[in-house]
Amino acid sequence: MTRITTALLSIALVGNAIAFSPNSVKPLHSHSTTKLNSFAMDSDEDAMNMMMKADLCAHSDTCSLDDAEHYLEEVLHMQSDCASGSLSSEKICEDITFPTQVIASLRQKVENERR
């Protein structure tokens, strides 16, 4: 194929690419009106505070499903930050025992709440 034919074929196949634009992406589920504040971790202390709140939520009867899901997202995001090097908390990034327990507890809580 020539370059022109390839370009025309690509344009024809892609057509209106709105389906791939970020503006057309909708969340899978709506969040409750009681949202937690998602924030960037400015320090190891902030990260540990978030981890402790997530752990409390995982073991609390009063923590909602939405809150548990949000904390799970936050903790998984922190793990991603550890992997990328943007978070270097020894207690969260180096010793993965505590974060792993929190993640497992939150997942169990979410699973139990959905039943």
Reported as a pLDDT band with limits 50, 70 and 90, residue 108 is: very high
Residue 4, classified by CB atoms within 10 Å of its CB into exposed (0-12), middle (13-18) or buried (19+), is exposed
Q: What is the pLDDT of residue 40?
A: 54
Return mean pLDDT, the chain: 75
Q: What is the pLDDT of residue 2?
A: 53
- Nearest Cα neighbor of 73 from 42, 27, 7 is 27
Residues 20-70: tens digit of each pLDDT: 333 433 444 444 434 444 445 567 889 999 999 999 999 999 999 999 999
CB 58 within 8 A of CB 33: no
Angle (deg, nearest 10), helices 97-114 and 44-58: 40
Its pTM stands at: 0.63
What is the share, in percent, of the chain residues with pLDDT greater than 70? Answer: 63
Neighbours of 71 (CB within 10 A): 26
